[in-house]
Amino acid sequence: MRAAETAVFDHGSTAETLMDEAAAGIADAVSMFFPAPGQCVVFAGKGNNGGDALAAAALLHRTGWTIDLRLAFEEAELGELARKKLTAFQHIRRDELPLARGRAEARPSVVIVLDGLLGLGAKPPLREPIRSACREINRLRRDQHAFVFAVDLPSGIDGDSGRADPDCVVADFTIAIGFAKRGLVADQAANLVGRLHLIPLAELTVDSHHAGGVVSDSASLQHLLPRRDFNAYKNQFGRVGIVAGSKGMTGAAILCSLGAIHGGAGLVELFVPEEIYKVVASSAAPEVMVKPVSRYPTLLDEPIDVWALGPGLGRSRASEILELISKASCPMVIDADALNILAEDMQALRRSVGRRLLTPHAGEMKRLFPHPHGSRAEQAEQFCATFDATLLLKGSRTIVAERHQPLSYNTTGNPGMATGGMGDVLTGVCAALIAQHLSPYDAARVGAWVCGRAAEIAI
C-alpha cells in the first residue's frame, strides 16, 4: 500500500485527494448498509486514518446523520491533514472529549460507530489512549448494540498477518481503502473484520498475482455479466441439467433448480430418482422441467450445457455418480453428496474430461483432501495444485481457487446464511452462470458474491 501511494504521489496526486476520495467511499458504504440516517459516533486518531473518518463524518452529516465526535488525542496532537479535516468539521455540533476524561456515552438511538483510530502502519500491541478507545468502541457494540464500521482495518489488528491485540476493535463492517490488506482475509481475522467492503481508488492499482489474491466486489465482477441483447432468446443462455434429490431430501433438488432459474439459465432440467418424481414435479417451479431417471449414466446422452450434481442426492448409487463425474464432457458443478461420493475415489476427478467446479464446505473439504497444511487459502492452493479443478471453498470468507488464477476472496454474506439449503441454491446459481459462458472460476466468484449480497438485502 505504501509503495502504491508513493507511485500515486509521484504522478501528481496528493494525500488529501486520496483522503477525500476515501471519505466519499466510506460515506457511500455506510449509506448502502444503513439507508436511513441515524446517529454516528466517530472515534478519530491523530493520523490519516482519523482524517478519513473526520472527512467521512462531514459527508454523513450533510445527508442527515447526527454526528458525535470522540477524539483520542488533544487537537494539538493531530497530524496536519487530520487537523485540517477537523477544522472543516467545526460547523457540526460535536463533543471532543479525549477518552482519558471519560467514557464516550452514546445516546440510546446510536446506530453506528466509525473506527478511525489506527491505520495501516500500526501493529499490536495497542497503547494508550488508543487501547481505551478500542475498549469503548467494543463496549458500545456490546452494551448498546451499535454497528461498528472500521476504516481501512479494525484498530488493533496487524494488516499483514491478521494477528490482533486482545482489545482489538470488533467490527461488523470493515471498509478497506484502495485494496484489502492481507491480514483482513486471514482465517483468524474473520470475526474481527466482519463484512469486508472495498473502496477502489482510481489512482491506486496493484497486480493481483503479486498481491497474492483478489477480493471480489461489484466493481471487479460487473464486467463478467454483460447486458443482454434486446432480441435475446433462451437458448443463448444455456441448458442446465441438475441431478439431485432422494427420499427425505427433495427440497435440496428444488432449491438447486430455483438457484439455476434465478441465476439466469435459459432452460433448467431437473433429473430425480423415479421414487420421488411425483413429489418433486408437483413442488418445483413451473418453468423447471422435472424428469425421472432410473440410471444416472443414461444422462450422458442428454443435450446439456452444464451439469449441477449432488444436492440431496444420497450415496446409494455411488458408482453411477462417479461415472457421470468422469465421463460428462461438459462443465459440472459438484456439491454435497456428490462430493462425499467423490471423496471415496478421487481418481474419478483426475479422469474427468470436462471442467469441474467443486463447492465443499469445511467438512466436505476435509474428506476430499484429508491431510492439508496451513490456512484455508493454503489448503485451497494445495488442492488445486494436486487436482486440475476449480474450487469454491465455502465459509464466512469463501475462497475460489484455480491453477494459474489468483486466489479470490468473497466479501458478501452474513451469519443468516448458516442454514440448510444455501449451498443448494449456490450450486444452481453457479451452474447457470457457467451456462451463460462464464468460466468455472468466474462463475464461482460471481455466484458466491451474488448469493451473499442477496442475503444482505434480505435483512
Give the span between the Cα atoms of 262 and 268, in whole angstroms. 10
Are 244 and 326 in the same domain?
yes
- Quote the pLDDT of residue 371: 84
Residue range of the domain that includes 102:
2-206
- Quote the pLDDT of residue 207: 59
Domain termination residue (choose one: 206, 235, 256): 206
Q: How many domains does the chain have?
A: 2
- Quote the pLDDT of residue 109: 63
- Quote the pLDDT of residue 459: 85
Please answer whether residues 18 and 5 qualify as being in contact, where contact means their C-beta atoms are separated by less than 8 angstroms: yes
Residue 212 forms part of a structural domain: no
Sites in the chain below the pLDDT cut of 50: 9-10, 94-102
- Quote the pLDDT of residue 1: 53
Residue 214 forms part of a structural domain: no
Are 167 and 108 in the same domain?
yes
- Quote the pLDDT of residue 100: 42
Which single residue is written with the C-alpha cell 463496549? Answer: 139
Residue 43 forms part of a structural domain: yes
- Quote the pLDDT of residue 97: 43
Give the span between the Cα atoms of 266 and 236, in whole angstroms. 7
Residue 41: beta bridge partners? Answer: 68, 113
Residue 365 forms part of a structural domain: yes
Are 230 and 174 in the same domain?
no
Residue 215 forms part of a structural domain: no
Are 329 and 264 in the same domain?
yes
Per-chain mean pLDDT for the chain: 93
Helix axes 250-262, 422-435, angle to 10 degrees: 40
Report, in this order, helix, strand and coil percent for the chain, each rounded to 5.
45, 15, 40
Residue 218 forms part of a structural domain: no
Domain termination residue (choose one: 206, 241, 272): 206
Give the span between the Cα atoms of 418 and 19, in whole angstroms. 37
CATH number where 142 lies: 3.40.50.10260
Domain termination residue (choose one: 206, 239, 260): 206
CATH number where 269 lies: 3.40.1190.20
- Quote the pLDDT of residue 2: 55
Nearest to 148 by CA among 181, 195, 105: 195
- Quote the pLDDT of residue 101: 44
Are 407 and 451 in the same domain?
yes
Residue 211 forms part of a structural domain: no
Are 188 and 115 in the same domain?
yes
- Quote the pLDDT of residue 104: 54
H or E segment at 400? strand 399-401
Are 237 and 372 in the same domain?
yes
Are 131 and 237 in the same domain?
no
Q: Max alpha carbon distance in the chain (Å)?
A: 79
Length of the chain: 459
- Quote the pLDDT of residue 98: 47
Cut 0.75: pTM above it: yes
| Residue 164 per-residue DSSP state | B
- Quote the pLDDT of residue 7: 53
Are 37 and 87 in the same domain?
yes
Please classify residue 313 by burial: count the beta carbons closer than 10 Å to its beta carbon, then call 0-12 exposed, 13-18 middle and 19+ buried: buried
- Quote the pLDDT of residue 13: 74
Are 270 and 200 in the same domain?
no
Residue 216 forms part of a structural domain: no
Please classify residue 279 by burial: count the beta carbons closer than 10 Å to its beta carbon, then call 0-12 exposed, 13-18 middle and 19+ buried: middle
- Quote the pLDDT of residue 6: 57
Helix axes 15-33, 48-62, angle to 10 degrees: 50
Are 50 and 20 in the same domain?
yes
Are 200 and 228 in the same domain?
no
Kindly give, in sequence order, each residue whose CB lies less than 8 Å from that of residue 444, ignoring residues fewer than 6 positions away. 357, 359, 390, 392, 400, 408, 430
Would you call the peptide bond into 297 cis, given omega within 30 degrees of 0 as the criterion? Answer: no
